[in-house]
Chain A
Amino acid sequence: MHTLPVGTEKAALLMQQPVWNRQLLDELSQAMRDASICGLGQAASNPLASVLKYFPDEFKDAANDQDPVRARRQTGRSQGR
């Protein structure tokens, strides 16, 4: 068992959910950085961390248990900035 294969698989499964469990994803990311033997595992969560950091508005409907993308389409809001 290696942290990189199992960790990335679990991250992908969590990210396929319509609403992301950010706390669990953060814990998983930190564990992969700390416990991966190679640099690939240590850096694997970087894209996840990046999207959460630079696109926080995409996830702010998590508390309302809504798919933020679907909510935006329903209200007709622009996806641009």
Chain B
Amino acid sequence: MTKIQFELDGRQVEAKAGETIWQVAKRQGGRSRICAIRRRRTIGPTAIAAPAWSRSRASACWPRPASARRPSGMKVKSASQRAVAAQKMVMELLVADQPARATSHDPDSKFWHWAETTGVTESRFPAAERWRTDDSHPAMRVNLDACIQCGLCVRACREVQVNDVIGMAYRNHGSKIVFDFDDPMGNRPASPAANACRPVRPAH
């Protein structure tokens, strides 16, 4: 099998053909990603995991496959000053819009774990207006005030459960996780039974 040699944070590493940089980094003990679902196709990560390429800007390119077509000598820097600063800033942007941790829906969520790992649990940015929680269903709440629009719930419903009833609607900072045509989730009594979306939510 073809092996590809490249440099990751100053170390020479080896990838199998078709393997992503993130998979190589994880094997080397590197940071994980919020936007990964086990055994599912790899997509562009949240910028929290942004590494930097030599001869290029910091880039959210973790899923780029190591390829035999790429010349040897590729250098990936995941812990450069610029990469770390970008990661911290992205986390700070997210923290700004989260409910206060002490009274949040889940103070021990994956999101707050990543905030601690990144070293950013407070924000200097003003909070923006948030979508209100959908509590129309008696068995499950959709805490949209804590949603970071990572898209994991959409992928879980579409690719794991294969129901495809969750979507990302509207545009830009007004993006919203919706059920069907932005209907209350209570209109779908069977949804909580599927439960593919709930385990993957970073901020609950």
> Chain A residues in contact with chain B, CB under 8 A?
1-10, 13-14, 21, 24, 27-28, 30-31, 33-37, 42
Contacts and interface: CB of A to CB of B under 8 A. Distances in A.
A48 to B, nearest CB: 15
8 contacts: A2-B46, A3-B93, A5-B175, A6-B173, A8-B172, A13-B128, A30-B82, A31-B89
A2 B175 CA distance: 10
B73 to A, nearest CB: 22
Contacts of B58: 34-35
B85 to A, nearest CB: 7
B57 A14 contact: no
A42 B89 CA distance: 14
B60 interface: yes
Nearest to B174: A5
A27 B94 contact: no
Enumerate the 5 nearest inter-chain pairs by beta-carbon distance, A residue then B residue, closest first: A31-B89, A34-B58, A35-B47, A9-B173, A35-B86
A21 B124 CA distance: 10
Given A10-B96, A13-B126, A14-B126, A31 B172 contact: no
The size bracket of the interface on B is: 20 to 34
Interface string B97-136: 1000000000000000000000000001110100000000
Contact of A10 (B60, B85, B128, B149): B128
B79 interface: no
Given A24-B125, A34-B57, A10 B82 contact: no
Contacts of B90: 1, 3, 31, 35
Nearest to A37: B60
Contacts of A31: 85-86, 89-90, 93
Contact of B89 (A1, A4, A21, A28): A28
Given A5-B172, A13-B126, A30-B85, 12 more contacts: A1-B148, A2-B149, A4-B172, A9-B128, A13-B125, A24-B124, A24-B125, A28-B93, A31-B93, A34-B58, A34-B82, A37-B59
